[in-house]
Amino acid sequence: MSESLRLTIDGQEVSVPIGATLSEAVEAAGQPVPHLCWSDHTTPMGLCRLCVVEVEGDGPLRPACVTPVAEGMQVGTQSPRLTRTRQILLDLLNSTFDLSEADELVQSMESHGISPGRPDPEMRRELAVRDDNPAFIRDYAKCVLCWRCVQVCADDAQYTFALTLADRGYHTRVSTSFDAPLPATTCVFCGQCVGTCPTGALKGKREQLLGQGIPWQEILEQTRVEFRKRGSPAAAPRGDPS
């Protein structure tokens, strides 16, 4: 029995292993389809819908990251309908969140004819920056709720389960159980959440201070003092990064 499946992406024949998703097939074909909630390191959830594609003979648009490839599929990644759908989604993100550090999203917006940075005062999320630990800050104005930090903190990578989603609807936000400060949770300050964040909503404090020109030794000392004060020995900083 064949170990692979054949399909066409925008008319180009591609062969992928059984079990591959349309996102993987699209990547194999070298077609640029935007993604937000899915990354190479996280389980696809189909949340943002930016990756939608058209499948011949199928009415609705399909989110490529969660759609398994079937033998003989004919997939289209470019059409006026797809462009319009992505434009609407990107425009909603653009008017709701601060995307100034979301480089990939900004590129997608530009390639879809949307000018980045058009805040809509009525839609902007007004949540204060969360600064409850010596290592990271969470800037809620930049958090697009892609869920990737929650996934890598859980069983996609770290198995610490410190992060979760709180509240519902427009008020949904990434938080911890009972909204506890990070040092009071199972967080081990591994930094996986910061590494996967696509928008700069999560940032290492030391990186931020270095960017402000503060000398490394001063930052190190400050961080040590803060960890001692707030308590979390697992995360005490070590050495100079240079």
Q: Which residues bind ligand FES (CB under 6 A)?
A: 35-38, 46-51, 63, 65
Nearest distance from residue 238's CB to ligand FES, in Å?
36
| The pairing of beta strand 4-9 with beta strand 74-76 | parallel
- For ligand FES, give the closer residue by CB, 111 or 208: 111
- For ligand FES, give the closer residue by CB, 41 or 224: 41
Tokens of 32: 């640029």
- For ligand FES, give the closer residue by CB, 47 or 82: 47
Nearest distance from residue 128's CB to ligand FES, in Å?
27
Nearest distance from residue 39's CB to ligand FES, in Å?
9
Tokens of 38: 């899915």
Nearest distance from residue 194's CB to ligand FES, in Å?
20
Nearest distance from residue 84's CB to ligand FES, in Å?
17
SS3 category, 189: coil
Helices (H) and strands (E) in the chain, counts: 7, 9
Nearest distance from residue 108's CB to ligand FES, in Å?
11
- For ligand FES, give the closer residue by CB, 10 or 226: 10
Alpha-carbon separation of residue 32 from 126, 198, 239 (angstroms)? 33, 17, 40
- For ligand FES, give the closer residue by CB, 145 or 235: 145
Alpha helices in 35-174 (DSSP H): 80-96, 103-111, 148-153
- For ligand FES, give the closer residue by CB, 24 or 139: 24
Q: How far is CA 232 from the centre of its chain?
A: 27
* Phi, psi of 24, rounded to the nearest 5 degrees: -65, -40
Nearest distance from residue 49's CB to ligand FES, in Å?
5
Q: How far apart are CA 20 and CA 38, in angstroms?
A: 14
- For ligand FES, give the closer residue by CB, 7 or 51: 51
Residue located via tokens 């601060």: 98
Tokens of 80: 């006026």
- Which helix (H) or strand (E) covers residue 174, if one does? strand 173-176
80-96 helix and 103-111 helix, angle to the nearest 10 degrees? 140
